[in-house]
Amino acid sequence: MSFELIIRNGVCLLPWGKTEADIGILDGKIAAIGRLSAALAPEVVEARGLHVLPGLIDSHVHWREPGLTHKEDMASGSAEAALGGVTSVFEMPNTSPPTTEPALLAQKLSLAQNRCRVDYAFYLGATADNLPFLSEWERLPGCAGIKLFLGSSTGSLLLNDERLLSLLLQPRRRRIACHSEDESRLIERKALALAAKPETHPLWRDETSAFLSTQKLLELARRNGALVHILHLSTEEELALLTKARAFATSEVTPQHLLLSSPECYERLGTFAQINPPLRAARHARALWQALHAGLIDCIGSDHAPHTREEKAKPYPQSPSGMPGVGSLLPLMLDQVAQGNLGLSQLVELSSHGPARVFGLRSKGRLSVGYDADLVLVDLEKKQAVDASRTRCGWSAFEGLKLQGWPVGTLLRGKWIAREAQLVGEAEGKPVEFNSP
């Protein structure tokens, strides 16, 4: 047997468990897994002592292009993803202008060509005007599906009228990804967001706003036969709703909602801890961990939403919500593996198998023969502090935190895109493909 590349003696996280094995790569695909000592390849990489994971699929990033490229663009965002072991991303529609029609989707696809270092797809934002066309548009090449904002966040996208929601929440080819906060309650409580007091952010956008919105969303989805995906879960109360909705509802949690909590995060970080939905009291983080261990959570996503230091330093509530995270997603969770809070196989399920399953990706998210050779090699013993100095926005809520477990090499379709904390090769990302035509 001959291959283009062989990864030897790594501990491979296969769908049925982990085992030491060799991986043979040919034509961008995983061609063989096993003992390949007699096989030949022009490049053979010794991975003894390293773990080999499927490349991460981050189904929740904001790359800010077009219109907001002083914060981030596709080149800088995908570079950070590659260095962090992420090989596929879904990018959100709240850019400027928002991605709400095929011409704007085509513009993003054009901007990504020869500039993205990882594979990609782009959500279409749901609006009152484009509802009649979304069943057709969600199937366009390069479209990740529909993003629904039930509560206003960064940007102008919003759809919260119950009649219109019923029209949207119908059986579709793709899941509808949802930002779930109740807009009416956010408007009623806006006065609780006190000037220069970011610690009031979770008081304004409280647990009840998330609960009411998710309750309405799940009721409409159940009634109309829609498949929904609830992004960045943040409350214990929502989890009780989800336990009864597993037949049609999946969910995501972010590292920041698992690892940061109020009031400490606001005391330490101020407006740099401000995100939507907010970081909340520690009981919610504990509940999210319990749900994760119980198998109630399907995906972990970064909600990578960068703003500049200058923007984040504005007095609350003029400060924008959001924080970067695509590059720290894997190291933060590997550190939780090192601490014994998460199993490595469970991390792979949340970061690769789960997103591929929920969104129906073709040939992605698994170490299996015939799948794309999207791999990340990780050193579970490596200790290093988070350093965001090379990123476009230049900061992280986890800056300086020493973590154990880091990616040391990333391959996209069999080609190195990052190695030893350095970018490799050219930007050759492509639109991901979906099983549902």
* Cβ-count burial 255-273 (b if 16+ within 10 Å, e if not): bbbbbbbbeebbeebbbbb
For the domain made up of 5-52+370-382+397-423, give the CATH fold. Urease, subunit C; domain 1 (2.30.40)
CA distances from 224 to 159, 211, 228, 248 (A): 17, 20, 11, 11
Distance, in Å, from the CA atom of 146 to the CA atom of 136, rounded to the nearest integer, reads 11
Distance, in Å, from the CA atom of 282 to the CA atom of 212, rounded to the nearest integer, reads 21
Q: Which of 58, 73, 303, 372 is catalytic?
A: 303
Q: Where in the chain is the domain with CATH 3.20.20.140?
A: 56-359
Specify the CATH number of the domain 56-359.
Answer: 3.20.20.140
Q: Where in the chain is the domain with CATH 2.30.40.10?
A: 5-52+370-382+397-423
Distance, in Å, from the CA atom of 171 to the CA atom of 187, rounded to the nearest integer, reads 31
- Report residue 418 as tokens: 């990052």
How does pLDDT run along the chain (437 residues), one tens digit per residue?
Answer: 899 999 999 999 999 999 999 999 999 999 999 999 999 999 999 999 999 999 999 999 999 999 999 999 999 999 999 999 999 999 999 999 999 999 999 999 999 999 999 999 999 999 999 999 999 999 999 999 999 999 876 656 889 889 999 999 999 999 999 999 999 999 999 999 999 999 999 999 999 999 999 999 999 999 999 999 999 999 999 999 999 999 999 999 999 999 999 999 999 999 999 999 999 999 999 999 999 999 999 999 999 999 999 999 999 999 999 999 999 999 999 999 999 999 999 999 999 999 999 999 999 999 999 999 999 999 999 999 999 998 999 999 999 999 999 999 999 999 999 999 999 999 999 999 999 76
pTM: 0.97
Distance, in Å, from the CA atom of 330 to the CA atom of 56, rounded to the nearest integer, reads 8
335 is catalytic: no
Distance, in Å, from the CA atom of 160 to the CA atom of 140, rounded to the nearest integer, reads 25
